[in-house]
Amino acid sequence: MPETETVRARGHEHVAAEHASTWELTSDDWLTPAGDCILGIEADTTPADFDSAFVAACQSHDATIEATLRVGDREQTIVGSGHPDLSFADDRSLVARTSDYVDDRTVMVNADTAAEGVDRELVNGLADGGSVECVFRVE
């Protein structure tokens, strides 16, 4: 049975989703226009909260990690990879990366989509203050 984690956050008027290599959810309660990778704020879960079994399952080059973003009745699934160096140690934000760079915020590498590739209807819903549910699944 695959391991899952769910993160809920809310959009903000400054959600632009224009970043070319990452997307992010943060527990911060603010967002400036410079945060062009951020899809949601006030996230209810951060990497440090993730279950140890989920983290262990992600710590392999062979792991496939899916993140399904749901805003209203729209959804998009982004697929990436695990990595042995994923620590899930950050207690503030999570970042999915199209590269293989890893830091304490990284929750997937080699993602097939960055913020700029997120469905514009999803982005518009977030810019209008809608909520996002992100379900992470690892196999």
Give the pLDDT confidence score for residue 132 in this predicted structure: 98
Give tens-digit pLDDT for 2-15.
799 999 999 999 99
Give the Cα separation of 2 and 96 in Å (integer).
19
128 pLDDT above the threshold of 70: yes
**Per residue in 38-53, is it b (16+ CB within 10 Å) or e — as a string?**
bbbbbbebbbeebeee
Write out the two tokens for 45.
């879960």
CATH code, domain with 120: 2.60.120.630
Distance CA 117, CA 123 (A): 10
Phi then psi for residue 2, to 5 deg, are -70, 150
Predicted pLDDT of residue 1:
63
* Interval 19-67: pLDDT, tens: 999 999 999 999 999 999 999 999 999 999 999 999 999 999 999 999 9
- What is the pLDDT at residue 118? 98
- Residue 55 pLDDT: 97
Number of domains the chain is built from = 1
Mean pLDDT over residues 113-135, rounded?
Answer: 98
> Could you read off the pLDDT of 64-93 as tens digits, one per residue?
999 999 999 999 999 999 999 999 999 999
Write out the residue range of the structural domain in which residue 90 sits. Answer: 3-138
Sheet holding 38-40, edge to edge: 38-40, 22-26, 93-97, 106-108
pTM for the structure as a whole = 0.97
